[in-house]
Amino acid sequence: MALSRRHGIPLALVAIDIDHFKAINDTHGHLVGDQVLRAFADTCRQALRSTDLCARTGGEEFCVLLPATDLGGARTMAERIRDQVTRLRLDAQTDAAAELRVSASFGLACSSERTPVFDALFSHADQALYAAKRAGRNRVAAWEELLRPPSE
């Protein structure tokens, strides 16, 4: 974050939540839930650049830090991961389903004068993530777009 500010380089943060993960664990068991987490992390790893950082921040929550990336680049990356995740077909290994499909919701935020510290950037990405979930899940929302007045 300090390098981004010092050199005027954009920095994006993506907050991600695997949709309905609790239901996956409850229906198919924790072993299948772990399989989903591994498949999701592998999908992210394959889509990201070597300079990007992906971290699991909670049970089914992840974040991706994208140095030298503006909002458009972050959206492109998030949409690519979202699309690849929806293409995953996992063996559910249970009577409830033979094949398990997964989706995820994404919240984007970019560093700016409104994000003087990492906590603010993370909070903005998290707010955008919850907007994506409220809008129906399996989508990408950007904090910067939440600030725009609704069009009439």
| pLDDT averages per 10-residue partition of the chain, 152 residues | 85 97 92 93 96 95 96 97 94 69 96 82 96 97 84 57
What is the structure's pLDDT at 147? 80
pLDDT at 93: 67
Residue 95: per-residue pLDDT: 61
Show Cβ contacts of residue 146 under 8 Å, excluding neighbours closer than 6 positions.
127, 128, 131
Q: Which of 60, 79, 144, 152 is catalytic?
A: 60
**Domain 2-146 class?**
alpha beta
State residue 144's pLDDT score: 87
pLDDT at position 82, please? 98
Backbone angles phi, psi at 50, to 5 degrees: -65, -20
Judge whether 60 counts as a catalytic residue.
yes
Say how far apart CA 65 and CA 142 lie, in whole Å: 14
Q: Where exactly are the structural domains of the chain?
A: 2-146
Separation CA 105–CA 141 (nearest Å) = 8
Q: Note the pLDDT of residue 2.
A: 81
Confidence (pLDDT) at 85: 97
In 3D space, the residue among 126, 78, 122 whose CA is nearest the CA of residue 104 turns out to be 78
Tell me the C-alpha distance between 70 and 139, whole Å: 18
Q: State the pLDDT at residue 57.
A: 95
Of the candidates 35, 24, 20, 16, the one whose C-alpha atom is nearest the C-alpha of residue 90 is 35
